[in-house]
Structure 1
């Protein structure tokens, strides 16, 4: 029996096609993602919205299953066929019993930095050396690949210059195929339904493009390096658990020449640029408060999930078409508090205890939030103006705190200061900050019922 108690906001995956809906019902195809809007008066039915067409209608609870979050699982691999450093004879042993097209990839012991593709064909195992040159991989100097994922994808569809197409990956023991898991849980999207548009940004790890997926405007983060893609798989797993109006929503991932992370498109870009390009003449203090509240609510939700963001700053907050601010870039989000990888920390946003002892917590996020408030109320200025990073580190440790931005409401500046308490436990939690901001909003907003986004003057080119 299907579960009968899904709450509004639950995402579901269609188990089959429903192409001839009766009046009031929703049409969909197998694999489509549908969001429950409301329970229905009809028994066994829900009112739902189609995630791509935006249409609403009734769906039968027996024809859908809940879209599961992806387990954060270190054995989840984009390259389950990659066995690391093993010898040729070991590889041959693993490819028994012989089966045409059974394959694995290993690191070359004889030629460090190169790889070997081992394929079983006609009862034998052929070893193809994969040469790494000019940041690309090749077996035959005619076909070049960005990474191993790309190469395996190609030879699974084309024989090229090898003896047989690759038919069956030999999984490394303990590895789970990310592709299978993503597909089972409903997070794997179809590359053929994606149209890529213009490049809208260069991330540290790859380009970000605007695009369209089945009629919906999306942003696509492309990650070509397979090692980085593997690391981002964990970020993606975290994002599948998170559903909140002030967090950028993950729509799914595409595995094609690396990893594509597909999220809702935030058409007004990041908050720093949004504020800098519009300025005081366009955006009033009610709208600034609105942004501050949006971010606070997103962070309160992360706090409730015991997740630490670690890189909260106005550059990592994006603004939607209807001017809602949403927290993005969960790239450093971790459940634990130690940074294992040597990440260059954003000094001006990072709490003193995190800089000195690498102690990250919700309370260090609160410190960063204080800096973000300063960015919002200074209309996107760079924090600690005219100070070097070394000076910032030393001065803050000695107790220095930034002055209030021009025309900043006193109530907001006192919030910044409590976020910057030296002792982490003395900083407020995000839910307390939200209450204080709501009170502040009450003071500035003459009529709370007058609509949510009236802080931007109409016709101002936003």
Structure 2
């Protein structure tokens, strides 16, 4: 549970581990609490909520900066059926990618990237990553425990065939890239992924390589998005590449279109007078230039 509280004369957010009394909290939740506090105390990035402190008695609580804009999930619900402006949605995606790039560079997997764990500033123009309850350090060959929320979980975490008794699925940090792709799809469409399906149906669809519809997405973003939710984790880009792509794409969006002067083939001049003989006058003499595509590095992993 989250509460607003004042700490040293400033408002902060308080996350209380349930049940309220520490003595009643199960061992598993105590271990998650300890891991979350340890990881939050290590990370420091402008797109990750700032850790302030923690306490274990009489209740287990985590204190962080207060994000007055609420969760991305609530914000998207509040503006439906409208969608976010494209520039703002990609700016949010860039904030998320930068936070994830930082975590992966420090060998941390979030494992629960979704709109309810993304918090907005008061002006609703910036995003910060929160809730490290399922996050952990990546240890090669040891990532086996399933974690996350079904609609945002990567296909390698599911299995169409029953696993042998005691066996678990192996995965790596690329599960976060898949989760990011679903969040990006939500930012672009403001729809619920796999809407109307229960967890079992979502898991089955994801394992069968079914993805949300790309029909109404900007065509220049489709190859990039498809590379992020590729079935093979090795085909998904690293967050360093995702950050670079989004930064370049946002730069193109914010640049004013170039205007080129082109010679009108219908215009001729007489040698004696130099007067224009163009019956169209100056119409059509200026055309907008087109920006180059930025997607060539992602096309190789996108199924045809």
Taking structure 1 as the reference length, the TM-score comes to: 0.48
Deviations along 1:331-382, whole A, 9 cap, x unmatched? Answer: 1111135354x76x42221111122353332211101111111111122x22
Match for residue 208 of structure 2?
398
Match for residue 136 of structure 2?
334
- Going from structure 1 to structure 2, the CA distance change for 1:405 and 1:443 (only over 3 Å counts) comes to farther
Q: CA deviation at 1:395?
A: 3.0
Q: Distance in 2 between matches of 1:309 and 1:212?
A: 28
Q: By percentage of residues, which structure has more strand? A: 1
Structure 1 outlier segments of 4+, above 6 Å: none
- Going from structure 1 to structure 2, the CA distance change for 1:443 and 1:253 (only over 3 Å counts) comes to same
Q: By percentage of residues, which structure has more helix? A: 2
Aligned residue runs from structure 1 range 183-222, under 5 A: 207-222=1-16
Q: Distance in 2 between matches of 1:255 and 1:347?
A: 30
Contact 2:155 2:209 in 1 (8 A): no
Deviations along 1:263-307, whole A, 9 cap, x unmatched? Answer: 000111110111221357684111111100000000000010011
Q: Distance in 2 between matches of 1:218 and 1:240?
A: 16
Contact 2:32 2:134 in 1 (8 A): no
- Going from structure 1 to structure 2, the CA distance change for 1:262 and 1:412 (only over 3 Å counts) comes to same
- SS of aligned partner of 1:302: helix
- SS of aligned partner of 1:234: helix
Q: Does 1:378 align with 2:189?
A: yes
Q: Does 1:324 align with 2:116?
A: no
Aligned residue runs from structure 1 range 48-63, under 5 A: none
Contact 2:16 2:60 in 1 (8 A): yes
Q: Which has the higher contact order (CA 8 A, sep 6+)?
A: 2
- Going from structure 1 to structure 2, the CA distance change for 1:405 and 1:229 (only over 3 Å counts) comes to farther
Q: Distance in 2 between matches of 1:280 and 1:432?
A: 32
Match for residue 46 of structure 2?
245
- SS of aligned partner of 2:61: strand
Match for residue 351 of structure 1?
154
Q: Does 1:428 align with 2:237?
A: yes
Contact 1:310 1:360 in 2 (8 A): no
- Going from structure 1 to structure 2, the CA distance change for 1:371 and 1:405 (only over 3 Å counts) comes to farther
Q: Distance in 2 between matches of 1:409 and 1:237?
A: 40
Deviations along 1:118-149, whole A, 9 cap, x unmatched? Answer: xxxxxxxxxxxxxxxxxxxxxxxxxxxxxxxx
- SS of aligned partner of 1:240: helix
Aligned residue runs from structure 1 range 300-315, under 5 A: 300-315=101-116
- Going from structure 1 to structure 2, the CA distance change for 1:352 and 1:281 (only over 3 Å counts) comes to closer
Contact 1:374 1:405 in 2 (8 A): no
- SS of aligned partner of 1:371: helix
Contact 2:83 2:189 in 1 (8 A): no
Q: Distance in 1 between matches of 2:76 and 2:48?
A: 19
- Going from structure 1 to structure 2, the CA distance change for 1:287 and 1:255 (only over 3 Å counts) comes to same
Q: CA deviation at 1:422?
A: 1.2
Q: Does 1:254 align with 2:55?
A: yes
Q: CA deviation at 1:405?
A: 6.3
Contact 1:318 1:325 in 2 (8 A): yes
Moved more, 214-223 or 388-397: 388-397
**Cα RMSD for the two superposed structures:** 2.1
Deviations along 1:75-112, whole A, 9 cap, x unmatched? Answer: xxxxxxxxxxxxxxxxxxxxxxxxxxxxxxxxxxxxxx
Q: Does 1:363 align with 2:174?
A: yes
- Going from structure 1 to structure 2, the CA distance change for 1:385 and 1:247 (only over 3 Å counts) comes to same
Q: Distance in 1 between matches of 2:82 and 2:151?
A: 27
Q: CA deviation at 1:386?
A: 3.0
Q: Which runs of 5+ in 1 are unaligned?
A: 1-206, 448-462
Q: CA deviation at 1:393?
A: 2.7
Contact 1:317 1:328 in 2 (8 A): yes
Residue-pair matches, total: 237
Contact 1:250 1:262 in 2 (8 A): yes
Contact 2:71 2:119 in 1 (8 A): yes
Taking structure 2 as the reference length, the TM-score comes to: 0.72
Q: Distance in 2 between matches of 1:324 and 1:287?
A: 9
Q: Distance in 2 between matches of 1:427 and 1:295?
A: 16
- SS of aligned partner of 2:237: coil
